[in-house]
Amino acid sequence: SADEVTRISSVVSLFPSAGWWEREVWDMFGVSFINHPDLRRILTDYGFEGHPLRKDFPLSGYVEVRYDDPEKRVVSEPIEMTQ
């Protein structure tokens, strides 16, 4: 049986183009691959926390990212959940 920390074997050695797909699966779902040469985020920002296509990821995410026009920069603020 598989759990959250179980890693599966990479197929990059057989199919080199699978590297992109494995990176996407890791980025979106958190599935980790053994012997993958470059397992880093591909669709989300490098500082992104969590894996957005998992059921345990909140719909609103953890941070709000917006562009602040007066400051001319991107601002990242934690989301406050009102209960």
Tens digit of each residue's pLDDT (9 = 90 or more) over 19-40:
999 999 999 999 999 999 999 9
The answer to whether position 19 is within a domain reads: yes
- Of residues 10 and 78, more confidence is placed in 10
Domain count, the chain: 1
- Predicted model pTM: 0.79
**What are 42-77's pLDDT values in tens digits?**
999 888 889 999 998 988 888 888 999 999 999 989
Cα gap 29→4, rounded to integer Å: 10
In a domain, residue 83? The reply is no
- Domain membership of residue 2 (yes or no) is no
Asked whether 41 and 59 are in contact (CB, 8 A), the reply is: no
The Cα 79–Cα 39 span in angstroms is 28
| Residue ranges making up the domain that contains 36 | 8-78
Do the domain assignments include residue 3? Answer: no
| 21 within some domain | yes
Say which residues have a Cβ less than 8 Å from residue 70's Cβ, sequence separation at least 6: none
Own/partner pairs for 14-23, CB < 8 Å, 24+ apart?
none
In a domain, 61, yes or no: yes
Q: Which residues pair with 67 in a beta bridge?
A: 74
